[in-house]
């Protein structure tokens, strides 16, 4: 068996790269499509449910797919520095790939609203981290402006190469299932990823790799659901900080995906997110971050609409280790501390 060469090499024929593009890769992609029977059972009919666990990418999120492309193309163009706004994952991926490609990485984050693991990554990978007194939407406005006047390449998902890389997740799903799923459930923040998946499914459909297209079901956190409300949210709030976004950059594209796929947008409350987050971990053994659990929370919310016999894929965008604080604060597990270091004391604490 050939080792996995990274997604640019694997899907080179479908990506805007040439033989001279310097490929900056950490061998991202090829993430598992895992059956989740406990979730399928809750839907209560004959359905197959899988999660696309993109938290197993090199920096722990789907952003690596976009970043291998964006950074390779930036390097090809001779960039010396890149910049992004981020709720955390983009900054970690930008930092890792930029540094690997020998570039500086500037990242703007909303002060106090980035999960601990993501901040740790950006710092250790060697990014220059700038926390602003404002939210993600404001940070994105600033970096868009800066990329026009300063020698820095923007690597947010408004950079088209990001979406090109991210569309490969759809290829991988079709390659494994042999066709498209009936439904694709996905968390939506800045709305780049839902756009990228649709690009991937459409491209594969055009070349005959699948014979149909999925319904694209996008889920936003209730306190940060501009696409559901149909208007920007000036002060988005949710415990799922990765998708704490009030004015998505790919708004129109996501709306077009919704109509073309006969899909829908729904909002899920933080409580629904937490319930799905705990369920995935405690019954399926899969630790994702809260924003990722929005896809499963959403599926469970609209479960009565899933056709019998359907195949559903929920995208788990990020690894649970990104946000240890939320895991510790919201687990339902018992954590008994201060037990005497004696067998009888441990046995007593176990209830024997």
Query: Partners of 35 in the beta sheet?
Result: 50
Query: Partners of 39 in the beta sheet?
Result: none
3-state secondary structure 178-201: CCCCCEEEEECCCCHHHHHHHHHH
- Give CA–CA dist 89/104, Å, rounded: 17
Which residue in the set 88, 117, 223, 298 belongs to the binding site for ligand F0G (CB under 6 A)?
Answer: 88
- Give CA–CA dist 260/71, Å, rounded: 30
* Strands 104-110 and 81-85, bridge-based pairing: parallel
SS3 category, 24: coil
Which residue in the set 117, 189, 263, 320 belongs to the binding site for ligand F0G (CB under 6 A)?
Answer: 189
The residues in 158-187 that bind ligand F0G, with binding defined as CB under 6 A, are 187
191 annotated to a ligand binding site: yes
Q: Pick between residue 6 and residue 248 the one whose CB is nearest to ligand F0G.
A: 248
Which residue in the set 72, 159, 193, 267 belongs to the binding site for ligand F0G (CB under 6 A)?
Answer: 193
Residue 318 touches ligand F0G, criterion: CB under 6 A: yes
Contacts of 274 (CB under 8 A, 6+ apart): 239, 290, 293, 330
| Least distance between ligand F0G and beta carbon 317 (Å) | 3
Instruction: Return the range that interacts with ligand F0G (CB under 6 A); candidates 24-32, 81-89, 171-179, 229-237.
Output: 81-89
193 annotated to a ligand binding site: yes
**Distance from CA of residue 144 to its chain's centroid?**
21
Query: Partners of 189 in the beta sheet?
Result: none
Q: What is the DSSP string of 197-216?
A: HHHHHHHHHHTTS-SS--EE
Residue 291 touches ligand F0G, criterion: CB under 6 A: yes
Residues that bind ligand F0G (rule: CB under 6 A) add up to a total of 22
The residues in 38-67 that bind ligand F0G, with binding defined as CB under 6 A, are 61, 63
Q: Pick between residue 61 and residue 180 the one whose CB is nearest to ligand F0G.
A: 61
- Give CA–CA dist 205/216, Å, rounded: 15
Instruction: Return the range that interacts with ligand F0G (CB under 6 A); candidates 9-17, 278-286, 289-297, 331-339.
Output: 289-297
| Least distance between ligand F0G and beta carbon 86 (Å) | 3
The sign one gets for the Cα dihedral 164, 166, 170, 172 is positive
Instruction: Return the range that interacts with ligand F0G (CB under 6 A); candidates 13-21, 25-33, 74-82, 190-198.
Output: 190-198
Residue 243 touches ligand F0G, criterion: CB under 6 A: yes
Query: Where on the chain is the footprint of ligand F0G (CB under 6 A)?
Result: 61, 63, 86-90, 157, 187-193, 242-243, 289, 291-292, 317-318
- Binding annotation for pyridoxal 5'-phosphate: 89, 189-193, 317
């Amino acid at each position: 068996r050939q080792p996995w060469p990274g997604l640019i090499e694997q899907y080179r024929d479908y990506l805007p790269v040439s033989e001279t593009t310097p490929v900056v890769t950490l061998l991202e992609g090829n993430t598992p499509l895992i059956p989740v029977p406990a979730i399928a059972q809750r839907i209560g009919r004959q359905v197959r449910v899988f999660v696309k666990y993109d938290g197993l990418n090199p920096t722990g999120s789907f952003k690596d797919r976009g970043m291998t492309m964006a950074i390779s193309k930036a390097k090809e163009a001779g960039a010396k520095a890149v910049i992004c706004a981020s709720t955390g994952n983009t900054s970690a991926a930008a930092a890792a790939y930029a540094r690997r490609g020998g570039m500086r990485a500037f990242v703007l984050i909303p002060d106090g609203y980035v999960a601990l693991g993501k901040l740790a990554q950006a710092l250790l990978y060697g990014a220059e981290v700038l926390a602003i007194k404002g939210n993600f939407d404001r940070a994105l406005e600033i970096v868009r402006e800066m990329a026009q006047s300063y020698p820095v390449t923007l690597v947010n998902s408004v950079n088209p190469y990001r979406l090109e890389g991210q569309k490969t997740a759809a290829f991988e799903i079709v390659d494994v299932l042999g066709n498209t799923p009936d439904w694709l459930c996905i968390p939506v923040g800045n709305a780049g990823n839902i756009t990228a998946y649709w690009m991937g499914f459409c491209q594969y459909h055009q070349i005959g790799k699948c014979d149909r297209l999925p319904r694209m079901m996008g889920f936003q956190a209730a306190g940060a659901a501009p696409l559901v409300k149909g208007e920007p949210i000036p002060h988005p709030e949710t415990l799922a900080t990765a998708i704490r976004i009030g004015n998505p950059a790919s708004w129109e594209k996501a709306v077009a995906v919704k109509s073309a796929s006969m899909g829908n947008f729904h909002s899920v409350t933080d409580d629904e997110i937490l319930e799905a987050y705990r369920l995935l971990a405690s019954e399926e053994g899969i630790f994702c971050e809260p924003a990722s659990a929005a896809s499963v929370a959403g599926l469970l919310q609209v479960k009565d609409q899933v056709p019998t016999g359907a195949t559903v894929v929920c995208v788990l965008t990020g690894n649970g280790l990104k946000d240890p604080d939320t895991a510790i604060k919201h687990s339902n597990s018992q954590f008994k501390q201060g037990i005497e270091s004696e067998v009888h004391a441990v046995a007593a604490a176990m209830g024997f």
